[in-house]
Amino acid sequence: MRIQQLRDLLALVAASRLEMKALYRRLSQHLDGTRGKMMLNYLQQQQQQVHDALMRYIAAAPSHILDTWYDGIVFEDFTQRCQTQHLAANANDEDILEIHLDLEDRLIKLLEQGVNMAATEEIRGALMNLVEVERKQQKQLVHNVNRLEDL
């Protein structure tokens, strides 16, 4: 998919979060373990929250920022990627985390493309803040999963 405006980039990332939520719901239906199901349920909630926060950001951001044009940002078919993900019925937390981190890294790299191609420092800063929030949430999730394994 070719992205033309910052608005499109952010909307695509928000929509991709809903795709991830749907993926986690589907994977949860085929998983045997309670712990894995709980983790997938948590990830579903997290994806909805991130989607909602991005939509609020899009609604509140100045149009001169959102209407910024980009040339050359292309992103994979994320829906297809989510639809082709599978887990074994006996998958563990690490298997789930591996899928999640892979998908999340793809979205972060997309935002980083936006940072690198930003026309102004204001736009670069706004996108960099989003990237930093995403990275911080990623680290927190890994930390929380590792703490769960210690219990």
Q: Which of 61, 79, 53 is CA-nearest to residue 6?
A: 61
Work out the average pLDDT over 28-45.
Answer: 94
User: Does the domain spanning 2-150 belong to CATH 3.30.420.40?
Assistant: no
pLDDT digits (tens, 9 = 90+) for 87-120: 999 999 999 999 999 999 999 999 999 999 998 9
Residue ranges covered by each domain of the chain: 2-150
Q: Is residue 135's pLDDT more than 80?
A: yes
Work out the average pLDDT over 15-20.
Answer: 98
Q: Does residue 118 or residue 1 have the better pLDDT? A: 118
